Amino acid sequence: MRIPVPGDIPPAQELGAVHFIGIGGAGLSAIARLMAQQGIVVSGSDANDSAVVQALRSEGIQCYVGHDAAHLDGVDTVIASTAVREDNPEIVEALRRGVRLWPRSAGMRSIMEGRRTIAVAGTHGKTTTTGMLTCALIAAGAAPSFAIGAEVASLGANARIGRSDLLVAEADESDGAFLHYSPEGAIVTNVDADHLDNYGTVEAYAAAFGEFIASVGGFVILNADDPGARALIGPARQRGLEVLLAGFADDADLRGRDLVVEGSESRLAAALHGVDLGPVRLSVPGAHYAQDALLALGAGLLLGQNVDLLIAGLTAYTGANRRMQHLGTAGGIRVYDSYAHHPTEIRADLAAARSIAAGARLVVAYQPHLVSRTRLYGVEMGEALSGADRVIVADIYLAREDPDPAVTSALIVDAVDGPPASLGGPVEGLAQVLVPDLRPGDLLLTLGAGDITTVGPAVLAALS
């Protein structure tokens, strides 16, 4: 459901009691945590119980499983996920009562009021870059608040109120949320057309990032290795922003070189305007993580933080939930889970998985996310999955969309070139499909932004 963003957004402390519809989602759970930590009365509901919902309950937040109009008793403000439909009983009741009804972006904006915000935007890598920057700033003593699109292991949460006025926030473009922020500084990881169900065209998607840059007040760090991010150099400079290019390109201001990806680590050297900053060791594998680290380091440097402490914080970052996350090992089979759902992300994660696998067979179970995305990128998804040794593709995760019999997972399977590929059916039965196909030494990687996250634990349980 698309809920309009109000013109006047007061600080969170002025919202009264706040109820979240879809509180188990990454975005809303972060906002709920930040509000609750400021003493605001917070409640929420979600269609399903989950580890996130249970964690919120343990923190004192009233969370309901299922939606009911009675959940709005005593509520002054309702914040809803874009995945919530118009006939949701809590939406209907909020409109009937005339209480304040906001989308996620307005809730995040209310948190930003009175804080110096650094917003991290981009098609891919937002969560990792936001987590890396937060870890780096904490190590440097900057004590920021943060809101991240997944729980970060080394932080123990996806959101927390810090002691300073600095806020590091993941800025999601999927529904245009990032256009309603006015950050002091920003990072753009890349611009690679996605969410065309919302934007309509590749050109409109790219133009949204230009609008985002127009909302930034001080500085922007752009990925020197991404053409879409580089296209923002001119508009950013025209606005008078300080621009820092970070990456491995020869003309990068903050340049990485000598990248080595080995096992579960990455190592590189970094130099700012030709001045060596020393070695950087990352506890996550992959060239894309090295790029994210350079962007985070650039933001920390523009904020005036100590370079050695920032690098130490980057090393301390050990990953986020569903970002090449090691779930466990059983029967000699290592199981990883990752959020990749776009061809670019699939390629990057498969490259990282190859490093971790160290010669072992790489089995990938993939769940496409959204009919609209599969229609546009299904063939490219299959081509990207061709980097595995065995591919099983589950049914499409519909999320907010309706099924289309003309667009199925077969579109992806048919495009896989090289490794054996097959349909896996519903996610609920995917573990039973996978286990007979696995053998000791394999690395199993489950990929997708939907509920395929349940498959890895089920496979481990069966193997145990």
Q: What is the CATH number of the domain that holds 129?
A: 3.40.1190.10
Among residues 77, 123, 126, 453, the one annotated as catalytic is 126
User: What is the model's pTM?
Assistant: 0.85
Report yes or no on 335 lying in a domain.
Answer: yes
Q: Which of 77, 104, 131 is the last residue of a domain?
A: 104
The pLDDT score that the predictor gives to residue 153 is 87
Examine the domain organization and report whether 135 and 263 are in the same domain: yes
CA distance 39 to 275: 46
What Å distances lie between residue 363 and 87, 278, 369, 445, CA to CA?
A: 40, 37, 19, 6
User: Mind giving me the DSSP string for 142-183?
Assistant: ---EEEEEEEETTTTEEEE--SSSEEEEE---TTSGGGG---
CA distance 31 to 187: 20
127 is catalytic: yes
Starting at the earlier edge strand, list the strands of the sheet with 116-121: 157-160, 145-152, 166-170, 116-121, 185-188, 219-223, 242-247, 254-262, 265-272, 275-282
The pLDDT score that the predictor gives to residue 2 is 80
Neighbours of 357 (CB within 10 A): 21
Report yes or no on 2 lying in a domain.
Answer: no
Q: Which two tokens stand for residue 18?
A: 């706040």
Examine the domain organization and report whether 245 and 368 are in the same domain: no
Examine the domain organization and report whether 92 and 176 are in the same domain: no
Among residues 170, 173, 345, 383, the one annotated as catalytic is 170
| Nearest CA among 377, 444, 449 for reference residue 409 | 377
**Residue segments in the chain with a per-residue pLDDT below the cut of 70:** none
Distance of CA 425 to the CA centre of its chain: 26
123 is catalytic: no
Report yes or no on 4 lying in a domain.
Answer: no
| Nearest CA among 349, 214, 69 for reference residue 366 | 349
Q: Which residues are within 8 A (CB) of 167 and not within 5 positions of it... i.e. 6 or more apart?
A: 111, 112, 115, 116, 117, 118, 144, 145, 146, 147
How does pLDDT run across 367-391, given as a tens digit for each residue?
999 999 999 899 999 999 999 999 9
Report yes or no on 7 lying in a domain.
Answer: no
Per DSSP, 283 falls in state: S
What is the domain extent for residue 92?
12-104
Among residues 82, 117, 123, 127, the one annotated as catalytic is 127
Examine the domain organization and report whether 271 and 160 are in the same domain: yes
Report yes or no on 43 lying in a domain.
Answer: yes
Neighbours of 454 (CB within 10 A): 16
Per DSSP, 138 falls in state: H
Examine the domain organization and report whether 308 and 365 are in the same domain: no
Examine the domain organization and report whether 62 and 135 are in the same domain: no
Residue 412: enclosing H or E segment and its boundaries? Answer: helix 410-413
The pLDDT score that the predictor gives to residue 400 is 74
Examine the domain organization and report whether 378 and 250 are in the same domain: no
Examine the domain organization and report whether 220 and 336 are in the same domain: no
Per DSSP, 435 falls in state: G
454 is catalytic: no
CA distance 273 to 251: 9
Per DSSP, 3 falls in state: -
Total domains in the chain come to: 3
CA distance 22 to 24: 5
Contact 455, 327 (CB under 8 A): no
Torsion of CA 178, 181, 182, 184, to 10 degrees: -70
